């Protein structure tokens, strides 16, 4: 019989990592453990909504909710022009500014995190982030790194650099991206190394902001789309969860005034990409002229849309694990949850990436034959219609997706993670 232990989950302030951790926490709770969540005020209430205890740590300057909402709205709007740029061109703007903000989160967390951990007294800490929080490493219990981003967040000389969107065969792209990234990020990295020194930690090598856990590292990435590494990851320290799909209430597909019996599409660019309302308006207009139904996630920007076409339904939020089993194809931004959940449910996807590891995931789904990629802006109505038709009719793609889905569902990522965490706890007693 399992002795109850307290497991602290500390996901990044983004829905992908947060919801992956919810799935693992649900499975840990089923084994008899007590999961609790550490989160930024901006995510307060999300984990309580799933029945978990929350502990707040400020990861940025404290702001009123309306001030925080305006901050993120301004941030998104300022970068929409950069969404048109290549991954290499985004290093100087979006990528650099993100890393500056991420380093700030580590500095802010260090002010409160040690006291919060002392209050929780966890037996195990699971962190899903791209940067080290020294207090986690120094608390004195085993800590686990969860990697919700693309697999190449753990680097290797034979695979594309993280965020690059390079083909696995394009070594020139590897070298150019990595050189430019290290050059542009160097001041940010130097600042982070100063912070590490202040916390009694050794500096990291160029371009590195986190390290693998010596105890256990869990990659959400599905095995059938992994890269061929020069140095394969040891299963003693690295385990692939092959998706991490949480349990959600069922979703009832609405009735449509037009094409109500035709294939159903799902369109979502995540909470960040929803700010690109001009692009979504264009996609909605095109879908309105095609013989399909579509569910479209417009995030917090519903006021930017008038009455949609009769074959399109808009909502600020869809529970993807409940929606995806019912759709025929997906258009998304390449966020890792959308990427892995489409594979988990065998849904062909058209990825239109704009930032971060969406570029990597778009290239990966294309190169492994699990879907298609399309430039976010350089397309015609005919291009989009042709891509959707291919997703619906390509039998070889469907067979590949069915095989990958069968493998992923058999492994049940959250339950596998819970068993691994339970085993680590037992070894640590």
Total residue count of the chain as it appears in this document: 429
| Confidence band, pLDDT 50/70/90 cuts, at residue 2 | low
What is the residue extent of each domain of the chain?
6-246+410-428, 264-409
Strands, E assignment, 209-328: 216-219, 238-240, 264-268, 293-297, 312-315
Q: In angstroms, rounded to a whole number, what is the distance separating the alpha carbons of residues 317 and 196?
A: 38
Q: Class of 264-409 per CATH?
A: alpha beta
The separation between the first and the last C-alpha atoms of the chain, rounded to the nearest angstrom, is 15
Residue 70 reports pLDDT greater than 80: no
Residue with tokens 């300057």: 61
pLDDT tens-digit map of 149-203: 899 999 999 999 999 999 999 999 999 999 999 999 999 999 999 999 999 999 9
Class of domain 6-246+410-428: alpha beta
Q: Mean pLDDT, to the nearest integer, of 347-358?
A: 96
Asked if the domains at 6-246+410-428 and 264-409 fall in one CATH topology, the answer is yes
**Residue 405 near residue 395, CB atoms below 8 Å:** no
Lateral strand order in the sheet of 293-297: 312-315, 293-297, 264-268, 329-332, 349-351, 371-373
The number of CA neighbours under 13 Å toward the Cβ of 53 is: 13
Q: 300 falls in which pLDDT band (50, 70, 90)?
A: confident
**How many whole angstroms separate alpha carbon 92 and alpha carbon 99?**
11
Q: pTM surpassing 0.85?
A: yes
Among the listed residues 425, 28, 417, the one whose alpha carbon sits nearest the alpha carbon of residue 244: 417
In this prediction, residue 134 has a pLDDT band, given cuts at 50, 70 and 90, of very high
pLDDT of residue 1: 52
Residue 10: phi and psi, rounded to 5, are -130, 80
* List of E strands, 271-328: 293-297, 312-315
Q: What is the mean pLDDT of the segment spanning 142-152?
A: 94
Mode of pairing for the β-strands spanning 143-147 and 124-128: parallel
**Per-residue model confidence as pLDDT tens digits over 242-290:** 988 888 899 999 999 999 999 999 999 988 888 899 999 999 999 999 9
Please give the C-alpha separations between residue 211 and each of 147, 149, 355, 410, in angstroms, as whole numbers: 11, 14, 23, 30
C-alpha–C-alpha distance, residues 365 and 370, integer Å: 5
């Amino acid at each position: 019989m399992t002795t109850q232990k307290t497991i602290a989950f500390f996901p990044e302030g983004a829905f992908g990592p947060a919801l992956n951790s919810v799935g693992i926490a649900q499975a840990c709770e089923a084994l008899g453990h007590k999961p609790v969540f550490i989160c930024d005020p901006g995510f307060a209430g999300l984990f309580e909504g799933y029945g978990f205890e929350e502990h707040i740590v400020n990861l940025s300057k404290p702001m009123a909710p309306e001030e925080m909402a305006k901050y993120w709205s301004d941030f998104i709007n300022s970068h929409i022009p950069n969404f048109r740029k290549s991954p290499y061109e985004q290093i100087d703007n979006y990528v650099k500014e993100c890393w500056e903000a991420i380093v700030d989160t580590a500095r802010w967390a260090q002010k409160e995190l040690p006291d919060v951990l002392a209050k929780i007294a966890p037996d195990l800490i699971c962190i899903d982030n791209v940067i080290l929080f020294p207090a986690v490493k120094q608390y004195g219990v085993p800590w686990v790194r969860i990697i919700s981003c693309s697999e190449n967040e753990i680097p290797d000389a034979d695979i594309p650099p993280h965020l690059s969107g390079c083909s696995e065969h394009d070594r020139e792209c590897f070298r150019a991206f990595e050189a430019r990234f290290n050059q542009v990020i160097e001041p940010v990295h130097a600042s982070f190394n100063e912070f590490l020194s202040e916390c009694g930690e050794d500096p990291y090598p160029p371009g590195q902001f986190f390290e693998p856990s010596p105890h256990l590292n869990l990659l959400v990435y599905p095995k059938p789309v992994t890269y061929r590494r020069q140095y394969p990851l040891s299963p003693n320290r690295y385990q692939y969860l092959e998706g991490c799909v949480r349990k959600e209430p069922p979703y009832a597909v609405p009735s449509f005034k037009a094409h109500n019996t035709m294939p159903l599409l799902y369109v979502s660019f995540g909470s960040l990409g929803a700010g690109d309302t001009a692009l979504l308006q264009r996609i909605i207009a095109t879908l309105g002229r095609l013989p399909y139904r579509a569910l479209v996630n417009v995030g917090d920007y519903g006021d930017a849309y008038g009455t949609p076409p009769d074959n399109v339904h808009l909502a600020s939020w869809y529970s993807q694990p409940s929606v995806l089993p019912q759709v025929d194809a997906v258009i998304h931004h390449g966020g890792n949850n959308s990427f892995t959940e489409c594979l988990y449910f065998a849904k062909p996807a058209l990825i239109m990436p704009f930032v971060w590891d969406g570029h990597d995931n778009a290239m990966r789904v294309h190169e492994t034959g699990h879907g298609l990629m399309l430039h976010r802006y350089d397309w015609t109505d005919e291009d989009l219609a042709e891509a959707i038709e291919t997703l619906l009719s390509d039998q070889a793609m469907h067979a590949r997706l069915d095989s990958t889905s069968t493998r992923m569902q058999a492994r049940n990522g959250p339950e596998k993670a819970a068993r691994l965490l339970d085993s680590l706890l037992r070894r640590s007693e």
